[in-house]
Chain A
């Protein structure tokens, strides 16, 4: 019978472990204090910098015209996730600072709470509500119909049919892909550039891929760029495929690989970082946000990430919304590439200079990425 209890004790231990792994963002108490402290700091800064402008101190009276309130609902995850949630929150904070607005966030712990979390802000007469991530698109659309006087900003939410009080923050992925591809074209020594991509049935992924290929070929017509897409099913959650595909292309002589597509791409990045040449002769390129922070295991090989500028895009949309000029439908945020970090030394100065020029051209729209026409091939 003692053995039985021992099993029970072990089970209780296992239980605690299971409890921990079931919610992966267990930084709760520690960061909570930090976040609160940071928030207060930001608010104080606003007061200090812009004493003349009216600063909305709390959300007790958001309905009053002189008070401006901005709410943010995260997708399941924390505002310090180093990914979409954090970027959207940083952008919101920047906008709130300029507006003298009050802002706060609610972190979703259960996807079933999306609607409730959004309506908490709406029923308190918040003026603008930011919702993060395409999984929240349906809940955002529903809330926009229920609260027609509130402006909604859907980060990474493509708008099929425009709704007057919703702006979807989306990006021209082909431009980010083009810049990353151009860099790869300049950097490759073997003239072989690989990719491991999510499915081409999802337009943003195809735009990333085709833009990347065009960029690489424009920089280096000698280069051979292989575009490899995952099959549509489970396209973004197959790290083993991403790793195997990357490994195969490295073995075939590719020295730079663009691994893009959620966990599938991350699997590729991590595999490439294990290569003995990682960071010197072999490089990887991430996607969406600066993956130096989201996939630290890949830091060694990570040249850059084809980046959607979420912080700037969110800030701009919130400011437009406060101005009464919310652009309904899709709003294209800026794109670019993330800092080199550990691989900075490997990128020659003339490459960096050329790249800056390309980024400027993409921004100005003077460079043809071949897209969106590329979607038709």
Chain B
């Protein structure tokens, strides 16, 4: 693989060495994600069948209630929006060779930041929404930058720091929502409701945030494949030594990639606060960042593919309640399906590692994440 081809998007998610072949070497990159989803659905279907429910009926219920009614569609769009953005957050990190597990913490930072900017200020609508959104992104970016700086200057693994920063973020937002930012005079820990001028409206039946998330995904598709900065991200991700040799500042790129990643997750949280919940409450937003990891891996670190991947996850999450209502199957079956999907998309990466260790001693110029 050549580092001079910035449009190359597979980054070790498909086989990095086409001459070698290997078990999945010649399959197009879309086969593995689709096969993973189908197998996960098959296993999920088996679990449903074991509980005495026809799996085809169960899946039909999930998808038809989620996609077949206007309210269902609105919910799918609302649920997909933060998932597209956390998926993108993880994707941008992966492109620069960083595995950002901290999208959850960054999203929480963005969600509570936007809530504060939304209720504590009075300003006209034209300024308030962008201000609250930008502040949320800033919070997410700042939170992620802690891991970015540690990685760039102290070589501390971002996998470890972002996991730990998640726990710290959870405790921090709990504190903020129960003390300085708490809505006075009621027992629940939550912030006051945001001002009307900060509330994201809907475009008819379509939430503004959803449109925004898609535009951001398209922008990053272009950014990563067609711009110099995107090229730097990719190059650092593929081979940081080659990047350094080519005159790219690896440290700066790592910090920037982590900050952009955090800003994206923060935007997801901000849109959730400003467009859906109207305030921050610690019980909201659970798991959105972790779903982002599944989405990014399923989309094989392709920003545009993150859109359908996020919508799939959003549809499953949205249909889960109807599944239980109609069939009695517990909504957690969706977690099982998503976990299996993640397992299957990740398995070839592990498999390739074992395979190479025994047989291949070729010298490769580049190395991407997971290779």
Contacts and interface: CB of A to CB of B under 8 A. Distances in A.
A and B interact: yes
A75 B46 CA distance: 28
Interface string A100-119: 00001011111111001100
Nearest to A232: B187
B51 A32 contact: yes
B281 A111 contact: yes
Interface stretch (B110-118, B213-221, B283-291, B302-310): B283-291
A104 B370 contact: no
Interface in B182-206: 182, 187-189
Nearest to A135: B188
A351 interface: no
A71 to B, nearest CB: 9
Q: Which of A16, A112, A233 counts the most chain B CB atoms within 10 A? A: A112
A5 B370 contact: yes
A191 to B, nearest CB: 34
A340 B212 CA distance: 58
Nearest to A39: B328
Interface stretch (A18-26, A206-214, A352-360, A369-377): A18-26
B276 interface: yes
A116 B353 contact: no
Given A12-B350, A233-B178, A5 B371 contact: yes
Q: Which of A15, A25, A76, A134 counts the most chain B CB atoms within 10 A? A: A15
B369 A32 contact: no
Interface residue SS majority, chain B: helix
B287 A22 contact: yes
B290 A18 contact: yes
Interface in B323-371: 324-325, 328-333, 335-336, 339, 342-343, 346, 349-350, 353, 357, 367, 369-371
B335 A19 contact: yes
Interface residue SS majority, chain A: helix
A11 B101 contact: yes
Interface of A: 1-2, 4-5, 7-12, 14-16, 18-19, 22-23, 25-26, 28-29, 31-33, 35-36, 39, 76, 78, 104, 106-113, 116-117, 120-121, 134-135, 202, 233-237
Interface of B: 47, 50-52, 71, 75, 78, 99, 101, 104, 157, 159, 163, 166, 174-175, 178-179, 182, 187-189, 276-277, 281, 283-284, 286-287, 290, 293, 317, 320-322, 324-325, 328-333, 335-336, 339, 342-343, 346, 349-350, 353, 357, 367, 369-371
Given A23-B287, A33-B50, 17 more contacts: A7-B159, A9-B350, A12-B346, A12-B350, A16-B343, A22-B286, A23-B332, A23-B335, A28-B333, A29-B336, A36-B52, A111-B284, A112-B78, A112-B277, A120-B322, A233-B179, A234-B179
